[in-house]
Amino acid sequence: MRRNVFLSLLGSLPLSALIAAPPVPAGWSDGFVIANGIRIHYWQTGGTKPAMVMAHGSSDDGLCWTNFAKEFSADYDIVMFDARGHGLSDPPGMNDPADAQAEDLAALIRELKLMKPIVMGHSMGSASAAWFAAKYPEVPRAIVLEDPFLGPRRTGAGGDREQRRARILATNNKTEAELVAQCLKGSPQWGQSECEVWAPSKRLHHPNTAYASVGARPAMGELFPKIAAPTLILKADADAAVRAENEKVAALLPKGKIVHIPGAGHNVRRDRKADTVAALKTFLAGL
């Protein structure tokens, strides 16, 4: 289990400095596959139900979906995988192509033999999900994008890579207790349980993810016309002008719908969980 891996990684840190992550729900299992040339780790809720794959955001990992996935596990076999450089998956290479994560997702679906999965992605994961859906339009049953960046790609975004690498390493060296406290202070609306599943992911986030070629990814406006599957965008709250711009880009989807969640920031499902669950269930009921 992932908790045992944490304890082996922590070495000489005093156990009094730690907060135990919540236990993985009963019946969930985990495993590894070789996909797109790397070892990818995943969690799975199980059962002979339609598949739903969840791709997390930058610095998170698969178990960061835990509280949200519980809302859908009765009806779906949910696969929550660790992106390269996150969780227990292999780290990225220094020269990975810009589409590495999209191809990782495609390969994972092939290796697990998932038939017409629903694919949901948050932030970084939404970029992977959209690019995957544009490259393989016949594969997904539906696509759900949690607060994707809808504007044109900015070259040189993200600042100095070595500085970002150093910041990731500094976060790796914080204790879970420190990270939970940081989460509760910065995002009190998430609640204790969400912060406790968020904190362990920060210790496993690989510093080499700082070298990802973010600026080389296509803009959503380029990808959306190529996505054939029904698509739901769950967007952060915004003023009228920004909403109008978002809706203009979303209109490029052949079968798309955008929902702005009132009061939500970038972490839509964490900031306004009940509203996000309701919007997604409505979308899924119409498939």
User: Nearest CA to 92 among 83, 100, 84?
Assistant: 84
pLDDT of 67: 98
Give the DSSP letter of residue 94.
T
pLDDT of 55: 99
User: Nearest CA to 144 among 256, 30, 7, 32?
Assistant: 256
What are residue 224's phi and psi, to 5 degrees? -55, -40
The dihedral sign for the CA sequence 157, 162, 163, 169: positive
Six-digit token string for 247 = 């809706």
Architecture of domain 27-285: 3-Layer(aba) Sandwich (3.40)
pLDDT of 3: 46
Report pLDDT digits (tens) over 104-142. Answer: 999 999 999 999 999 999 999 999 999 999 999 999 999
Residue 156: half-sphere exposure toward Cβ, Cα within 13 Å: 0
* Residues 161 and 210 sit within 8 Å (Cβ to Cβ): yes
* Residues 137 and 229 sit within 8 Å (Cβ to Cβ): yes
Report pLDDT digits (tens) over 156-199. Answer: 545 688 999 999 999 999 999 999 999 999 999 999 999 999 99
* d(C-alpha 143, C-alpha 132), whole Å: 10
pLDDT of 41: 98
Give the DSSP letter of residue 141.
S
pTM of the model: 0.92
The 3-state secondary structure of 26-87, one letter per residue: CCCEEEEEEECCEEEEEEECCCCCCEEEEECCCCCCHHHHHHHHCCCCCCCEEEEECCCCCC
Q: Which residues of the chain have pLDDT under 70?
A: 1-20, 154-159, 214-215
* d(C-alpha 196, C-alpha 99), whole Å: 31
